[in-house]
Amino acid sequence: MARIIVVTSGKGGVGKTTTSAAVSMGLAKKGHKTAVIDFDVGLRNLDLIMGCERRVVYDFVNVINGEATLNQALIRDKHCDNLYILPASQTRDKDSLSLEGVGKILDELSKTFDYIVCDSPAGIEKGAHLAMYFADDAFVVTNPEVSSVRDSDRMLGLLASKSRRAELNEEPIKEYLILSRYSPDRVKLGEMLSVNDVQEILSLHLLGVTPESKSVLNASNSGTPVILDEKSDAGQAYADIVARYLGEEKPHRFIDEKKGLFGKLFGGK
């Protein structure tokens, strides 16, 4: 049985797709057979971030409608043989998805995969609901600013009440916090919420902090998940996140501000 992970947030633009791409690549590189599904029907992005947009023949909606088999629609990643991408349809909308259809696809994928990562669209409407409905774990991606935190809180409420596990009275979805686009310098200036502020509001297990980083934009533009850029801070942050999720103990990084050469030399505050 596969473990189904939903990457969700409520708010848009916080880094759900970047996280989905990085986390699924990270899991695959650790030797787990992983599928990543783009639930953002109509605003297809995941294939761009994964660099497979030119290989899309069939999509998620085709499989739901029975116009293609799952194997025809799954795209094998060019960097890692353990990773498969199920792209969204760009020409349909979220009403093309149905609860039964999504359930059937996830069931079928569960037979052969270890992890299924569901990249949720923004909002709390149908697409987001279907992305999280069958989840076992939820990665809640939040930016350190009030509206994003508020939306994440709302999403956590929905995870606790509107998911399959909630409806069947099973063990609740395991929720993890990923604080993305974090900038310690701006926290220090009081322009951004700190890790502690966000954790106090959401009271959630912190899986990792990813720094605001140029490497993310570069990675997206070139179609390679940022986790493959092992030299970049964001790539290392995502590698830590995957390791922690798989049970490794890793100290949190990227929470304190970077010290300049001067600071390093004198070690002062």
Closest CB to another protein among 160 and 255? 160
What does the alpha-carbon distance between residue 59 and residue 64 come to, in Å, rounded to a whole number? 9
Nearest Cα to 125, choosing from 64, 39, 46?
39
What does the alpha-carbon distance between residue 118 and residue 136 come to, in Å, rounded to a whole number? 11
Q: Which residues lie below 8 Å from residue 246, measured CB to CB, with a gap of 6+? A: 27, 30
Nearest distance from C-beta of residue 154 to another protein, angstroms = 4
- Amino acid in the structure at residue 198: V
Which of 30, 33, 79, 150 is the binder for another protein (CB under 8 A)?
150
Nearest distance from C-beta of residue 142 to another protein, angstroms = 13
Which of 156, 207, 216, 237 is the binder for another protein (CB under 8 A)?
156
Question: Helix (H, G, I), strand (E, B), or coil: what is residue 253?
Answer: coil
Closest CB to another protein among 116 and 156? 156
Rule CB under 8 A: which of 8-27 touch another protein?
none
Q: Is 158 in the site for another protein (CB under 8 A)?
A: yes
Which listed range, 33-41, 146-154, 190-198, 258-266, lies at the site for another protein (CB under 8 A)?
146-154
Maximum Cα–Cα distance across the chain:
65
Q: Is 201 in the site for another protein (CB under 8 A)?
A: yes
Backbone angles phi, psi at 75, to 5 degrees: -110, 125
Do the beta carbons of residue 205 and residue 225 sit within 8 Å?
no
Nearest distance from C-beta of residue 144 to another protein, angstroms = 16
Nearest distance from C-beta of residue 145 to another protein, angstroms = 14
What does the alpha-carbon distance between residue 166 and residue 177 come to, in Å, rounded to a whole number? 19
Q: Which residues lie below 8 Å from residue 220, measured CB to CB, with a gap of 6+? A: 18, 48, 49, 226
Which of 43, 56, 160, 243 is the binder for another protein (CB under 8 A)?
160
Closest CB to another protein among 104 and 150? 150
Q: Is 153 in the site for another protein (CB under 8 A)?
A: yes
Closest CB to another protein among 114 and 153? 153
Nearest distance from C-beta of residue 178 to another protein, angstroms = 18
What does the alpha-carbon distance between residue 198 and residue 209 come to, in Å, rounded to a whole number? 11
Question: Helix (H, G, I), strand (E, B), or coil: what is residue 237?
Answer: helix
What does the alpha-carbon distance between residue 36 and residue 80 come to, in Å, rounded to a whole number? 13
Residues in contact with another protein, counted by CB under 8 A, come to a total of 11
Q: Which residues lie below 8 Å from residue 24, measured CB to CB, with a gap of 6+? A: 34, 35, 36, 83, 115, 117, 225
Closest CB to another protein among 162 and 264? 162
CB atoms within 10 A of CB 33: 17
Closest CB to another protein among 59 and 151? 151
Which listed range, 147-155, 186-194, 232-240, 251-259, lies at the site for another protein (CB under 8 A)?
147-155
Closest CB to another protein among 130 and 140? 140
* Contacts with another protein, residue ranges (CB under 8 A): 150-151, 153-154, 156-158, 160-161, 201, 203
